[in-house]
Structure 1
Amino acid sequence: MNDLNLLTRRVLLAGAALSSVAATVATSDSAMAQEAAPKIGPAPNLETLARHKVDLVAPPFVHAHDQVAKGPPRVVAFKLVIEEKRLVIDEAGTTVQAMTFNGSVPGPMLVVHQDDFVELTLVNPDTNTMAHNIDFHAATGALGGASLTFISPGEQVVLRFKATRSGVFVYHCAPGGAMTPWHVVSGMNGAIMVLPRAGLDDGHGKALAYDRVYYVGEQEFDIPRDEKGAFIHYDSPGEGYSDMLKVMRGLIPTHVVFNGAVGALTGPNAMKASVGETVLIIHSQANRDTRPHLIGGHADYAWETGKFRNPPEVDLETWFIRGGSAGAALYTFLQPGHYDYVNHNLIEAVELGAAAHFEVDGVWRDDLMTLVSPPGAIS
């Protein structure tokens, strides 16, 4: 018994000593963390800030905005209405019961400046069948806002967050569990661009500007097939959930498209530009990696990770966008004509639909390219 008491005392003393060491380490770590933590001032009185209401437009277009901020930070108000709708996604008439922000895949691009406050009204009409929310990769805290914005049909919510970091960022629905990837690959994603207050630069102090901006949202769809191999049509999102989940788990999408459908940005829907114009291309992929490539052109400047505080890379032939992120590329067109803009996984571009077009007008320059001898018989 005495031996047991002695052992108990030693264990307790050892525990006390370890607790003392742990407390000292914790105190030291806490002090270091406080020293390293950014100094955060008091929250501003938002009542004193200017307010600006934005009318959003459908991709590939982007609402009017200033490239350089005019004045101090302000509250920028947006409204996204969730719409569950059937979309035709290829020439064969294949459909998906899509879940969307404002009816488009991807959802609209939102543009603010760093240190502005984003104020979003998210609406889930009672005509919908599912609960939804929104996760902003640009936001800080509460799962990007997802844990604060969960709304059932017939409800709305208003979220406000400070845009503390510049760059282009994905937003998407994130209800939790398997519902999150299902909602995302059913179309429920978009992007927000947070411009530096002084505008873009090359990382060495040279200002960069653009004449046009286009938003390309790459989207994979996982459409189930029947026993004969034909794509199945469903009457509501929930009806196809279990079948779609099986296809999703195979990790081989049936479609990989730009802006919601095969051909959505080709032919008469091609993006327009002129020789001498500088175009900013925002490219997002909320779920899979992708490799944008402009055939016949380049990225003069490319923010592959989409974050404008990082210096852009230059003269890229193909740039890489990580799944769950957005990137940006800036190019000044030098020659007129037809340009293909593709995911340079060419199987996904040619076979699954990840392709778009630019149509560029202007005068051809022989000094950049010329046909010296036309095709003919071998002499």
Structure 2
Amino acid sequence: MTLLTSSLMASALALALAGGVPVPASATDAPELVTATLDQASDLAALPRQQVALKRPPLVHDHDQVASGGPKVVQFTLPIVEQEITIDGEGTKMHAMTFGGSIPGPMMVVHEGDYVEVTLVNLAGNSMPHNIDFHSATGAMGGGDLTVVQPGEQVTLRWKATRPGTFVYHCAPGGPMTPWHVVSGMHGTVMVLPRDGLKDGDGKPLRYDRAFYIGETEFYIPRDADGGFKSYGSHAESLPETLAAMRGLAPSHVVFNGAVGALTGGNALRSKVGETVLFVHSQANRDTRPHLIGGHGDHVWEEGKFNNAPLRDLETWFIRGGSAGAALYTFRQPGMYAYVNHNLIEAVLLGAAAHIMVEGDAWDHDLMTTPSPVGAIAADTDLALPSSD
């Protein structure tokens, strides 16, 4: 039995204890899932290494849009933080589980052909095991089978970025723990850029002046007998009633970046007229429909895969549950824009909305104007359309 297979067996046991998979009766009953040993991995000693400092969403760490030189090993450290957070203006609290202390977890950017090396740190003060499943990776349940860590442990996973695009990552400890960890905040995105950068459908280069990462999450906060949201003393205490609420498939909140209003008002995103912004939008669990009120999707990779030509001039685009998409827009007018999930019930009543404040010196009246001011009309004015009869 190889060292790597032994690691997989230990991971399978941890998953089984969380309700995910049956435990083998003995070591000899476990399948030989991996036959290569660790020392047969690619020798990457000659490749340059880059240690990246992640940023809290909606910001994205500094990165080149076009790769310089050949592949490299890009290193990230991702701590797991369990913490109580406030998710709305009413003071509703929940016990969150997070990558990096934010919901969503930070976005990681690399280029096709790079090796991604992530050190996952389960802080000693946490209460439960975690792991990470990269939709952008190949093998071992996206890394989930190799990254199960108990509180006070860490593990490093390396995988090759073979497909350009935007991809979700999330915790996947098995059984009902997987959706619970995801809707408690444990999800994020990796963006794998083509080495020569983004292109339109004709192969012409596309660039952006700034990038924003918007991670959409739905929360399921149980209610008490009077209809108020309940609070709990710990993650474990909240679990039974939270699972019951989740089974109803009716979220209490649908939010961008961890809370109602996290990206509105004083927390609004900021840009300028003439700037091109890349919006990366993820939803690890449910479908969503991003829409920029007052703007459009100039170029949209709705499925998030940069090998495919982008769609043009979209009013609303569709992000499938368990995926991330990307859209470019060049702002043409100053003022406030709303970026929403265009299920407007979820945007207005449940919280899935953001604001973008766009600076500019002049309004373009050719694009929009009011030829006459608002004025009163006569009470007997009849402007009804004629019937079709």
TM-score above 0.5, yes or no:
yes
> 1:137-176 counterparts in 2 under 5 A?
137-176=135-174
Q: Deviations over 1:182-218 (max 9, x none)?
A: 0000000000000000000002110000001000000
Computed over aligned residues only, the root mean square deviation of the Cα atoms, in angstroms, reads: 0.9
Alignment pair present for 1:337 and 2:335:
yes
Alignment pair present for 1:125 and 2:123:
yes
The letter of the residue matching 2:347 is: A
Q: CA separation in 2, counterparts of 1:156 and 1:227?
A: 42
What displacement does 1:141 show?
Answer: 0.3
Q: CA separation in 2, counterparts of 1:338 and 1:308?
A: 29
The letter of the residue matching 1:366 is: H
Paired residue for 2:320? 322
The letter of the residue matching 1:53 is: Q
Q: CA separation in 2, counterparts of 1:184 and 1:256?
A: 13
Task: Say which SS state the counterpart of residue 170 (structure 1) adopts.
Answer: strand
Unmatched 5+ stretches in structure 2: 1-39, 379-389
Q: CA separation in 2, counterparts of 1:228 and 1:377?
A: 46
Paired residue for 1:265? 263
Unmatched 5+ stretches in structure 1: 1-41
> 1:242-281 counterparts in 2 under 5 A?
242-281=240-279
Paired residue for 2:304? 306
Paired residue for 1:23? none
Q: Deviations over 1:12-39 (max 9, x none)?
A: xxxxxxxxxxxxxxxxxxxxxxxxxxxx
The letter of the residue matching 1:332 is: T
What displacement does 1:44 show?
Answer: 4.5
Q: CA separation in 2, counterparts of 1:239 and 1:121?
A: 29
Task: Say which SS state the counterpart of residue 356 (structure 1) adopts.
Answer: strand
What displacement does 1:43 show?
Answer: 6.5
What displacement does 1:45 show?
Answer: 2.4
The letter of the residue matching 1:185 is: V
Q: CA separation in 1, counterparts of 2:198 and 2:234?
A: 43
> 1:1-379 counterparts in 2 under 5 A?
44-362=42-360, 363-378=362-377
Paired residue for 1:8? none
Q: CA separation in 1, counterparts of 2:220 and 2:68?
A: 44
The letter of the residue matching 2:45 is: E
Q: Deviations over 1:241-293 (max 9, x none)?
A: 01000000000000000000000000111000000000000000000000000
What TM-score, normalized by structure 1, do the two folds share?
0.88
* Residues 146-155 or 230-239, more deviating: 230-239
Identity of aligned residues (%): 67
What displacement does 1:360 show?
Answer: 0.2
Q: CA separation in 2, counterparts of 1:263 and 1:133?
A: 29
Q: Deviations over 1:90-136 (max 9, x none)?
A: 00000110000010000000000001000000000110001000000
What displacement does 1:369 show?
Answer: 0.5
Runs of 4+ in structure 1 deviating by more than 6 angstroms, as ranges, are none
Of structures 1 and 2, the larger Rg is shown by: 1
